[in-house]
């Protein structure tokens, strides 16, 4: 049986509620716009939380819009810039699943279709409401015969479609959960990248902070091998809020603490430290998931660089500047996780890598000993791997090899690369 992916639009595929955004465009010059905005948002939230029927909320919002077709053109341009980050980077999934990735929304085709079709989503797989216009192209209502304009409209629609296959639902609102409640879909994933509604998440089969997480859990093609929301980024000490904001916006799971608590040592993947914070040798030795450390100051005397090297932990610090680069350092940490860049690292060779699409990027950190690259490339040759690009740099006792490969590969390849003598750390980037 085929798997079908039933995806919501507002606050899921996009970061925002489209009708709320349309109101901000159409009412821009209205003297009472702020009061009307709040009323439209109130309708939206009541419906999403299941406290008001969808039909009532939809009618209330449309009536308040005072919008026309020219406003819709502006809205589409705006929404194209507001596609959720994790959806935006996973176009390849939609290309490969163009027959089974569907948009089912209580929103409107007039703005949904031009936003989602560039992502290989077929127009016949977009189910949404449609506006009614008068002779002057003003929006005066919606097609009330469309099941999606009703309370429980998504349930009504899927019953009519009678799809033969396994259905998975992804959304942020109560109408998405209703699909699970009806028994029409196998699993419901509450999407929380943009907004988290307790009334929805507490009833979901899974809470998915990103589309990457959904793809990872279901072992589907994805842009990055491991969801960033699963990487624990711990911020310790006096670190400006902007640093946490940068890392949260990038999708990492961020927690801020006054000290490096023992319960986090084995799980932390990224560690951002304020000046004069010490990390003990024992803590470093136990931090097996730790990939990078950022330090707002000079690490000398605070962190054992030799242990970091031995464990393949990339360190970024600020040994010269007194400004405590609260933006630069977290950005460098994120670029290492996202792209493999080690530029301006304290302990690793400095490497800036091109961003390449439709490849698998493999990072191999090893001891800088003769012959190891020959061993790495011998593994690729034995597995008939097509190497698109390869980068190697060394610094004292550290070697850093980045290989971009194309095409399918057996998972045994990864095992072989990890088992090469003098390997320190190996990971698939994307």
* Position 400 confidence tier, pLDDT thresholds 50, 70, 90: very high
> Rounded distance, CA 311 to CA 348, Å?
12
Q: In the predicted model, what is the mean pLDDT of residues 351-368?
A: 94
- So what's the pLDDT on residue 44? 85
**Confidence check: pLDDT of 325 > 90:** no
The neighbouring-strand residues paired with 401 are: 364, 392
Q: Which residues contact residue 20 at a Cβ distance below 8 angstroms, ignoring those fewer than 6 apart?
A: 37, 40, 41, 44
* Position 321 confidence tier, pLDDT thresholds 50, 70, 90: low
Q: Which residues contact residue 192 at a Cβ distance below 8 angstroms, ignoring those fewer than 6 apart?
A: 172, 201, 207, 208, 209
| Residue pLDDT, tens place only, 128-160 | 999 999 999 999 999 999 999 998 999 999 999
Q: Give the mean pLDDT of the chain.
A: 94
Indicate the class that CATH gives domain 228-339: alpha beta
Indicate the class that CATH gives domain 3-218: alpha beta
CATH of 359-429, one of 2.60.40.1120, 3.40.50.2000, 3.40.1190.20, 3.30.70.260: 3.30.70.260
**Confidence check: pLDDT of 322 > 60:** no
**Confidence check: pLDDT of 54 > 90:** no
| Residue pLDDT, tens place only, 215-262 | 999 999 898 989 999 999 999 999 999 999 999 999 999 999 999 999
**Confidence check: pLDDT of 421 > 90:** yes
Q: Which residues contact residue 347 at a Cβ distance below 8 angstroms, ignoring those fewer than 6 apart?
A: 305, 308, 309, 313, 314, 315, 395, 398
- So what's the pLDDT on residue 49? 84
- So what's the pLDDT on residue 110? 98
Looking only at the bridges linking them, the beta strands covering 131-133 and 139-142 are antiparallel
| Residue pLDDT, tens place only, 75-91 | 999 999 999 999 999 99
- So what's the pLDDT on residue 335? 97
- Same fold for the domain at 3-218 and the one at 228-339? yes
**Confidence check: pLDDT of 323 > 70:** no
- Crossing angle of helices 174-182/33-48, nearest 10°? 20
- pTM given for the model: 0.84
- Residue 429's alpha-carbon distances to 25, 219, 394, in angstroms, are 40, 16, 20
Q: In the predicted model, what is the mean pLDDT of residues 89-109?
A: 95
- The 8-class DSSP code of residue 416 comes to H
Q: In the predicted model, what is the mean pLDDT of residues 288-296?
A: 97
**Confidence check: pLDDT of 320 > 90:** no
Q: In the predicted model, what is the mean pLDDT of residues 356-362?
A: 91
- So what's the pLDDT on residue 369? 95
Please, are residues 78 and 25 in contact by the beta-carbon 8 Å criterion?
yes
* Position 10 confidence tier, pLDDT thresholds 50, 70, 90: very high
**Confidence check: pLDDT of 336 > 90:** yes
- So what's the pLDDT on residue 324? 56
Q: In the predicted model, what is the mean pLDDT of residues 270-284?
A: 96
Q: In the predicted model, what is the mean pLDDT of residues 48-75?
A: 91
197 or 270: which leads in pLDDT: 270
Dihedrals phi, psi of 32, to nearest 5 degrees: -110, 30
Q: In the predicted model, what is the mean pLDDT of residues 328-346?
A: 96
The domain segmentation of the chain, as residue ranges, is: 3-218, 228-339, 359-429
Q: In the predicted model, what is the mean pLDDT of residues 194-214?
A: 94
| DSSP track, 42-100 | HHHHHHHTTSS-HHHHHHHHHHHH--BHHHHHHHHHHHHT-B-HHHHTTHHHHHHTTTT
Smallest CA-to-CA distance from 47 within 99, 21, 73, 11 is with: 11
Return the percentage of the chain with pLDDT > 70, whole number. 99
Return the percentage of the chain with pLDDT > 90, whole number. 87
* Position 174 confidence tier, pLDDT thresholds 50, 70, 90: confident
**Confidence check: pLDDT of 372 > 90:** yes
- So what's the pLDDT on residue 319? 77
């Amino acid at each position: 049986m085929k798997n079908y992916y039933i995806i919501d639009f507002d606050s899921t595929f996009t970061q925002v509620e489209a009708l709320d955004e349309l109101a901000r465009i159409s009412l821009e010059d209205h003297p009472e716009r702020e009061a009307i905005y709040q009323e439209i948002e109130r309708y939206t939230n009541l419906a999403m939380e299941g406290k008001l029927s969808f039909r009532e909320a939809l009618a209330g919002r449309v009536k308040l819009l005072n919008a026309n077709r020219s406003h819709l053109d502006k809205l589409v341009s705006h929404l194209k810039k507001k596609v959720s980050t994790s959806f935006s980077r996973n176009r390849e999934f939609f290309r490969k699943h163009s027959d089974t990735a569907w948009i089912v929304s209580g929103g409107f085709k007039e703005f949904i279709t031009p936003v989602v079709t560039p992502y290989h989503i077929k127009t016949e797989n977009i189910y949404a409401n449609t506006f009614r216009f008068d002779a002057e192209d003003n929006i005066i209502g919606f097609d009330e015969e469309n099941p999606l304009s009703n309370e429980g409209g998504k349930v009504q629609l899927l019953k009519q479609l009678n799809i033969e296959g396994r259905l998975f639902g992804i959304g942020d609102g109560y109408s998405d959960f209703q699909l699970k409640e009806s028994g029409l879909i196998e699993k419901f994933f509450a999407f929380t990248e943009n907004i988290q509604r307790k009334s929805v998440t507490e009833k979901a089969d899974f809470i998915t902070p990103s589309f990457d997480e959904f793809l990872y859990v279901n072992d589907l093609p994805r842009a990055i091998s491991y969801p960033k929301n699963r990487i624990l980024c711990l911020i310790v000490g006096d670190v400006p809020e902007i640093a946490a904001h940068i890392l949260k916006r990038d999708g990492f799971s961020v927690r801020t603490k006054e000290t490096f608590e023992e319960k986090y040592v084995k799980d932390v993947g990224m560690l951002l430290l304020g000046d004069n914070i010490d990390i003990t040798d024992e803590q470093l030795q136990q931090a097996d998931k730790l990939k990078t450390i950022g330090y707002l100051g000079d690490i000398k005397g605070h962190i054992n660089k030799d242990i970091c090297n031995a464990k393949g932990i990339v360190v970024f610090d600020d040994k010269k500047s007194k400004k405590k680069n609260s933006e630069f350092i977290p950005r460098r940490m994120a670029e290492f996780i996202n792209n493999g860049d080690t530029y301006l690292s304290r302990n690793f060779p400095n490497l800036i890598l091109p961003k390449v699409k439709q490849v698998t990027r493999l990072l191999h950190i090893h001891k800088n000993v003769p012959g190891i690259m020959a061993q790495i490339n011998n593994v690729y040759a034995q597995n008939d791997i097509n190497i698109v690009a390869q980068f190697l740099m060394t610094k004292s006792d550290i070697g850093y090899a980045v290989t971009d490969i194309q095409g399918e590969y057996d998972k045994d390849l990864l095992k072989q690369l990890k088992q090469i003598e003098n390997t320190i750390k190996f990971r698939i980037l994307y």
